[in-house]
Each structure stands twice: as structure tokens, then as C-alpha cells.
Amino acid sequence: MPHVPFQETGTYPCPVCHCGDIQSLSLMEAMSCSVCQHIFTPQFEEQSLKLADSQVGLQWYWNGKRWQGKPSHVLAINWQYGVAAIAFVTLPTLIMGVSAYLFPPLPGTAFPWFPLAWTGLTFISHVGCLLYLASEYYQFPLGLYVKTVGRRMLGRVQVSNQ
């Protein structure tokens, strides 16, 4: 595949969802994805693209074949966020686990497994909250991505069956 320069008239794969294609919007100096509907600001001189509809300054540059992530100081996650995320998951789980250990169910009571299950549920729900917040922050359309991948897989199955 030859190297194709990043131009206003071209159609390129979306660097966010990797399923759709981005192309110029009419009468605007912007580009949009056909699947995830993200808006991008192109810099044709620099062969780069910036995500315009997000607080996060995600950028990519075109290497002639595909998009490469462009390092940015905005993407640097401070160590405080990491500590807060670890504390958000471990502290409630630890509290539930220690209380289940210190105050075990009485012998012969119904549902003796409940404190351990509740501890596991605490861990899973807090990790789920973190994953949800991360996907919302980066505005990654998970449902749309799964639907598009499903359509692609269904299309491949139908083509191979014919």
C-alpha cells in the first residue's frame, strides 16, 4: 500500500473507534467519523488530527498508512489520580473483607457465603465505576463500537457462507 498524504478531500480510518471513516464536513474546517460521530480538527500542513469534541487533547499524526498517537502533556495522568483510583477500589473492598473476617456468620445461619459475595461485589462494582468514568472522560462510545464490530463480524460470516 503506497503512502497517501493527509489531504482535505480524502477519507481516512477513524483513530478513535477504528471502525468508521473520517472525512471533511461540508463548509467547515473539521472532519467527522461516520460511526462514532467524533469531530476532529485537521492540521494538513503537520499531517495531524486533533479530537475537537473532548476535554482530552488527543492527537494523532498520519504516517501515510495509518494514524499514530502523538505524545501530549495533557494525557499525562498524575500519580494522585492513580492513588485515588487504587484507594477507591481497595478501601471499600478491604473494609468489607475485614468485616467479613472479623464478624463471620454464625454456624448454621442461612447464606453463610453472603459476606464473601458482598466483598466480591464491592470490588467488581468499584472497578466498574472506574471503567465507566474512564470511558466517559475519553468519550469512547463503547455501545456503538460493540454494535459496529458485531455488524462487521456478521458481514464476514454472511460473506463466508455464500
Q: Can you give the pLDDT at residue 140?
A: 65
Contacts of residue 45, Cβ cutoff 8 Å, sequence gap at least 6: none
Largest CA distance in the chain: 74
Per-residue pLDDT of the chain (162 residues; tens, 9 = 90+): 567 788 888 899 988 888 889 999 988 899 999 888 889 999 988 989 998 887 667 889 998 888 888 765 555 567 888 899 999 999 999 999 999 999 999 989 999 999 999 999 999 999 999 998 887 776 666 776 777 777 777 776 554 445
Structural domain includes residue 145: no
Domain boundary among 48, 69, 90: 69
Domain boundary among 33, 49, 69: 69
Domain boundary among 49, 69, 89: 69
Structural domain includes residue 124: yes
The residue whose grid cell reads 498524575 is: 78
And the C-alpha cell for 23?
A: 472525512
**Do both 65 and 91 map to the same domain?**
no
* Whether pTM exceeds 0.85: no
Structural domain includes residue 146: no
**Do both 85 and 127 map to the same domain?**
yes
Q: What is the 3-state secondary structure (H, E, C) of the chain?
A: CCCCCCCCCCCEECCCCCCCEEEECCCCCCEEECCCCCEEEEECCCCEEEECCCCCCCEEEECCCCEEECCCCCCCCCHHHHHHHHHHHHHHHHHHHHHHHHCCCCCCCCCCCHHHHHHHHHHHHHHHHHHHHHHHHCCCCHHHHHHHHHHHHHHHHHHHHC
Structural domain includes residue 57: yes
Structural domain includes residue 104: yes
**Do both 59 and 106 map to the same domain?**
no
Structural domain includes residue 84: yes
Query: In which domain, by residue range, is 100 found?
Result: 79-140
**Do both 65 and 46 map to the same domain?**
yes
The domain tally of the chain equals 2
Structural domain includes residue 6: no
Structural domain includes residue 108: yes
**Do both 65 and 84 map to the same domain?**
no
**Do both 19 and 64 map to the same domain?**
yes
